[in-house]
Structure 1
Amino acid sequence: MSSNDLLSAKRNNGETNIEWIKRMIEDEQICSIDHSEFGDPVHVRYGGSGVVTRAQWKKRNKEIILKQIVPYESALAKSENQELAKELKAFHSIKDSLTSEIGRNNVIEFLGVSINKGNFFLVLEYADLGNLRDYLMLNKTLDWERRINIVRQVTCGLYFLHKNEILHRDLHIGNVVIKSDKNSKFDIKVLITDFGVSKVITRQSVSSQAIKGCITFMDPFILNALTATYGEKYNYPSDIYSLGMTMYAISNDKLLADENIPVIELVKKINGIRENPMADSTQSYVDLYTKCMDDDPNNRPTIEYVYDSIHKEEIISGKKWGETIQSQ
């Protein structure tokens, strides 16, 4: 089967999650890595999409990330089945795509799967400099060109996902990681991670007065829809809104907490006024992320438009936003 067949790979009646995974391995949709090949595990974090551990892949002498997704004993719901299939499909698209394809190197590399003591793990490449939120906190003196370099790489990663018909649905500065890379500009490679298996916001989470995920980066249109209907309306413009918020955070050092937020705070967010941009931002940059965060999803640009715009020289060297304000 091709990677595109993953989305049509339905569970058999009574098939548990682990049985589904094993069948995907048998069908050569995903490769299995013996868990005994990993050593020196170090807990990284707990997250909405599972437990994350760093380990040494002894056979290849490299550090990797083990991301626990699905408990062994529970059965996958239909929606969870599809979400797992989407992530695996995305990883296959990365593996099968040409090295020169835009954004291929800005999405986390999938190395395989591993099963240990009834737990299922994705085996992913390790980003030694941590997530973007932590990186920005430790590097608050980054100049404008270095910040734009980060934004451009994030945009490339999202471009790749959208071109492969994959929605991220939870893009924020905690789901972007940084890796040392002497072959990349400014010696870093920026990678998008945690796509596909990001949990759908449920009716239960709304009714319990809290919604999981990084709400600040979420499309207000989605929040309004969720509050009204407990449903979901994620689409490409929703990802574009999150990209705009990510652009805003990178340029402003406005590192927003990734935590559960009470519904009353969501109302303030939905109805609130966005803060002014930093004076050092270029006008073209402010205009771009403002378009991405338009209240009407239909007015937001496509990822192709954002990609073309963010790579223009005026984004770095154009008129400053502060200069524009002062001249008025």
Structure 2
Amino acid sequence: MRDLPSLNALLAFESVARTGSVRAAADHLSVTSGAVSRQIRQLEEHFGIPLFQRYGRGLMLTHAGSAYFQQISTHFEGLRQAGQILHRSAGRAVIRLHSFTTFATRWLIPRLTAFQLAHPAIDVRLTTASDWDDAADFDAAIRLGSGEWPQMHATPLVENTLVPVFRPAPGRKTRLDPENLAQHTLLRVRGRPDDWRLWGDAFGIETRRLTNWRELESSALAYQAALEGQGVALAQRVLVEKELAEGTLIALDDYRLDCGSLTYYLVWNRSSLKQTNLRLLEAWLTERETSDFQPGNPA
């Protein structure tokens, strides 16, 4: 297998092929036209095939040269884009953070906003998804589980308590009794199919006998449906604190199920080179009081 050609020769070739001119390429590379021509000859000697066809004072790519340019041009463009990203991020550390969508919108984003103001040299780039993807690429992530993931550092963020919630309405009793759940539409989340069963088992309620179900794609949709009076949602209480405080939702607080170690964790690989900044983010998310992030309170 032949060695790769010199980088200078590749730069000269790419620049001439892109601009169509040795002089323009020389100006772009801040060298002489003669230097560019020598690099082109060197590249042609390396491959043993003409890459340009000379006509008058100009150059035209041969068939082989055109095919080679198409192959390498995408890589050069990638290098340029990577350089632009570095320039834009100069002096800033980047943390790529991945989270479940509902948790991000209802709990995480207000805290990240305050974190960015307090740590302007750290750029947190958040991506979200409704379901966990093992192929997701991140520096840190919010995961739901028991906290045991191989090679991962994991810190719990919230208490995960499940509680039925519904919208108060004229003529409806303020306190909904578990015994009359069959009279209501129960909102079930497709990605959390076992929540109602686990809750029912904890309080001796046979939810399998209940038949009036409505299935929704995400917890966010279930909470919105409950807000609109379309049924009873089994909520992770920490994600509906705002609605409970405002009175737009009511919780069956006598029937709260503490899920213990099954909760949301901030996780990252133990070998991460970004641990210093990740620990700053971890401290911020675990030590700040909830009241710091209520509307009207400075963060």
Query: What TM-score do the two structures reach when normalised by structure 2?
Result: 0.21
| Larger strand fraction of residues | 2
Larger Cα Rg: Structure 1 or Structure 2? 2
Between 1 and 2, higher relative CO (CA 8 Å, sep ≥ 6) is seen in 2
